[in-house]
Amino acid sequence: MKVLNYSLLDVFTTTPFGGNQLAVFHEGESLSTGMMQKIARELNLSETVFLSPPNDSDNQRKLRIFTPQMELPMAGHPTIGAAFLMADQDLVQTGEGISEWTLEEAVGDIPVIVYKEEGLITKVEMTQPLPSFGERFSKTEQIAKLLSLAPADLHTEFPIQTVSTGVPFLFVPVRSLAAINKINFRSDVWEQHFSKNEATQHLFVFTTETEDSASTVHSRMFAPAMGIPEDPATGAASGPLGAYLVEHAVIPATENGVYAIRSEQGIEMGRPSFIDITIVKKGQEFQQVKIGGTAVTVGKGQLYLEDTKN
């Protein structure tokens, strides 16, 4: 019998039982892809991450990330949470101040910065690939029906558009907190009209009305294709969210082209999450997309396997 050790974290929060849950398996190199998927499905968290030695010895770790339904090429809260755990438990030696790491994911190398003050990990930032803007979705009545909203609840001054920094999300602006709070996601409408198109499989809904005065946007994310009915914090969507907000002037322009954005998410689920987003855009060109936050370790466990070959 093989014993697998894992840690359980809440990510994008400083409070246990907030943020987004994450299981981090410490020794993933002995597991097949099929077994990783089975484990992720067994735990049934938004994502489960498996650590293994890097292909490049100059890098810190290789990460493989799974939802209950699929492997992801890149994801935010598993990257932030895994890096936090590695630093907090000294799995990777981490000095005071700033440590710059490179983590390997299916999308490629991901630069990560770990901030440590007086022995505590205060923040982790990851750099995401530069954004790509995809198709615009013009069938607003279908979107409204999908979300159980009236068409008037949608913010028609801004487009419904797919944006990706590794994983594509369809961004849907709505007018108010009242509208976003009353969303009832209809899986039957998604299955009929959205599920077959990669650009419309994962929906990210936002409004510039917020619960917390320090936040820029209030967000919700629905990803039935990933096996996630609703996600309390979505790092992979937060980078493209920031790019969308800048590209379409949803937020005011800055003189130096650097934008500091804060997304609040998970509040409707009782798991408040806060994600910091940094966008650098000079002229018409995006130069940097970063997301950041912190995490708390809430537990650890062991999983017993009779056979790791399947």
Average pLDDT of span 179-193: 95
Helix (H, G, I), strand (E, B) or coil at 47: strand
Q: What is the mean pLDDT of residues 152-165?
A: 96
Q: Distance between alpha carbon 230 and the CA centroid of its chain, in Å?
A: 12
Q: Which residues are catalytic?
A: 47
* Whether the predicted pLDDT of 284 surpasses 70: yes
Examine the pLDDT at 129 and tell me if it is beyond 90.
yes
Mean confidence (pLDDT) of the chain? 95
Give me the helix-helix angle, 76-88 and 235-247, nearest 10°.
120
In this prediction the pTM is: 0.91
The yes-or-no verdict on residue 226 having pLDDT over 80 is yes
The pLDDT confidence band at residue 307, using thresholds 50, 70 and 90, is low
The full DSSP string for 84-140 is HHHHHTTSS---SEEEEEEEEETTEEEEEEEEEETTEEEEEEEEEPPPEEEEE---H
Give me the mean pLDDT over the 66-88 stretch. Answer: 95
pLDDT at 66 over 70: yes
Q: What percent of the chain has pLDDT over 70?
A: 99
Residue 310 pLDDT more than 60? Answer: no
Q: Please state the rounded mean pLDDT for residues 227-249.
A: 96
Domains, the chain = 2-129+294-305 (3.10.310.10), 132-290 (3.10.310.10)
pLDDT at 309 over 80: no
- What's the whole-number mean pLDDT along residues 242-270? 97
Of 15-19, 192-196, 262-266, the poorest mean pLDDT is in 192-196
Backbone angles phi, psi at 121, to 5 degrees: -80, 115
Amino acid at 129: P
For residue 99, what pLDDT is reported?
A: 97
Mean pLDDT of 174-179: 97
- Given the structure tokens 């803007």, which residue do they identify? 133
The 10s digit of each residue's pLDDT in 196-212 is: 888 899 999 999 999 99
Query: What number is the average pLDDT over the span 143-151?
Result: 97
Question: Residue 258 CB: number of other CB atoms within 10 A?
Answer: 13
